[in-house]
Structure 1
């Protein structure tokens, strides 16, 4: 925009009189280096995406990452198509039909965004979303996602272990559980206030589950930031549990000494237990959990896949539940 002014006797200084040349050149070098690093990061993310068998969707802002080397963090199974992963979702704040979130979530505003971390911690803090993004190196992890309704996907998530955040607030010895509170904004979430669930949507993990390396604080998928319908701008991904345990659009994390109430457990305790580990031996009261259908790959009449205990992550997480009766603590 051009703004015309009258001099009225005022002599406009030259640019070199405003900023010393050495300072100006230093700022310019820093800017160019930052742009180059960003370009290299984006290129690296794109290269990893290509090597993983998919290309960034090209719909949202790219999110640079490196491939995770954590045990169990990358499955070699075929990745679910982006269009399927972003159009078949559970996000009841935007509707109860699987297609509702993609239709309705455009109203969600993800900036500004803050996440409060409080409770039994030595250093409670409120993090701006940009601070969270820089807290640790972004990794891509190709995780299976298994939903209680019997469908599954394989999604390349981007983020870092939740433990990186929790360690920074220094949990006290009394902390045993972690509660996750999600956004509940009637102005941007049209189904807030419906009687389906108790709002805001809350979830919880035992502290050792939350600190497990595979528990992911996710900011993106498919090489880009999270789409609104998938839980933007920050969500949880716990790959060995049913999908509803992976809270979306998180605004508060509370460490506590008591098992927190969770949205679906409060709505139907006999159907949705606190742990909700993927387990083919524990059926939902209204349907079997012994098999599943991969969205976008397994047709309606195709033979279903056998459900794996802990969603196939038994080698990594089975020790967390040693000695527990998994039918009682479902």
Structure 2
């Protein structure tokens, strides 16, 4: 990928879905011209480290508190939620993005192509009952009801940086559990090399699936060592509240060192496979969205630079960190790989 001479303002970056739709329309127009002349859920809240069921989510897309009182405000920059500096990779010292921004500025094309549409359409999504098929190369395949799944694992808060491929970022206090804990329970076979995640397919609940922007359902994937890494989690809440539809309710993938589109939302299937899964954005535009999608400021997107990012809630851009600031924890996973070739 060639380095662009100048990074465009964030507001001038066309969202990938709209760009791909326009590209398909141009292809269709060219073909036509040529022919004429000869495209609620309830969750859990933590008390003393144990998980307990909470009340069902409020109607109208409002989140259910996972504990008493309002969600905490963002800490000052350089301070953790306890007021002390932290080097824990699970809790960044950076100021958290406001709850209002996190739930109103979203990419979830199944619920709409703009940043605001997902929040408006999220009320269509029925969060109970919800089951996840855990299948493929495992010794203990099972279709698990979400509430059963949440009783299996204690929940924990992790404050992660999130970097979108569109060159904007947030800091989000997720609530969830390590994906590796679930995979170990399923007992992967010796043939398991990858983990494939699939989003719900339902055009009534997810009206964006009526479009042909992507092949539906949405599919993402990780290598099994990436999936088993301690930083990788399944999130069911944020800011101490139940996860909302626009953020991927009732359960979504969070991989903080990768671009945000890797975080499959509203998951209904987790399948371990021997072969690398064909993921949605890589199928749609393989020259723009690779399978690995590791945050890499040295590898530009073909249409914009990835060297800097716009943190939502801030005025100035900031440098993008390799692996989104998690290089110390994850760079070893890619030892010997050409990260420009395997982007």
Q: Which residue of 2 aligns with 1:317?
A: 330
Secondary structure of the equivalent of 2:270?
strand
Q: Which residue of 2 aligns with 1:61?
A: 64
* Alignment of 1:328 onto 2:309: no
Gaps of 5+ in 2: 1-43, 52-61, 69-80
The equivalences for 1:136-215 within 5 A come to: 136-215=153-232
Aligned counterpart in structure 2 of residue 269 of structure 1, from 286, 300, 303:
286
With structure 1 as the length reference, what TM-score do the two structures score?
0.80
Q: Deviations over 1:231-273 (max 9, x none)?
A: 0000000000000001000000110010001010000000000
Pair 1:64–1:134, CA change in 2 (3 A)? farther
1:123 and 1:170 in contact (8 A); partners too: yes
CA distance in 2, matches of 1:196, 1:86: 23
Secondary structure of the equivalent of 1:90?
coil
Secondary structure of the equivalent of 2:281?
helix
CA distance in 2, matches of 1:39, 1:311: 29
CA distance in 2, matches of 1:43, 1:214: 19
* Alignment of 1:240 onto 2:257: yes
Secondary structure of the equivalent of 2:196?
strand
1:180 and 1:247 in contact (8 A); partners too: yes
Q: Deviations over 1:271-304 (max 9, x none)?
A: 00000000001100000000001012x22xx3x1
Q: CA deviation at 1:71?
A: 4.5
1:42 and 1:63 in contact (8 A); partners too: no
CA distance in 2, matches of 1:97, 1:123: 40
Secondary structure of the equivalent of 1:164?
helix
* Alignment of 1:102 onto 2:119: yes
CA distance in 1, matches of 2:334, 2:181: 23
Pair 1:39–1:117, CA change in 2 (3 A)? closer
1:64 and 1:138 in contact (8 A); partners too: no
Secondary structure of the equivalent of 1:205?
strand
Q: CA deviation at 1:62?
A: 2.6
The equivalences for 1:51-90 within 5 A come to: 59-63=62-66, 71-90=88-107
With structure 2 as the length reference, what TM-score do the two structures score?
0.77
User: How many pairs were matched up?
Assistant: 276
Q: Which residue of 2 aligns with 1:122?
A: 139
Q: Which residue of 2 aligns with 1:15?
A: none
Aligned counterpart in structure 1 of residue 321 of structure 2, from 295, 304, 308:
308
CA distance in 1, matches of 2:45, 2:275: 46
Between Structure 1 and Structure 2, whose CA radius of gyration is higher? 1
1:290 and 1:307 in contact (8 A); partners too: yes
Q: CA deviation at 1:70?
A: 10
Q: Which residue of 1 aligns with 2:47?
A: 41
CA distance in 2, matches of 1:274, 1:83: 31
CA distance in 2, matches of 1:289, 1:238: 18
1:44 and 1:64 in contact (8 A); partners too: no
Secondary structure of the equivalent of 2:210?
coil
CA distance in 1, matches of 2:327, 2:218: 28
Q: CA deviation at 1:132?
A: 1.4
Gaps of 5+ in 1: 1-37, 46-58
Q: CA deviation at 1:42?
A: 8.7
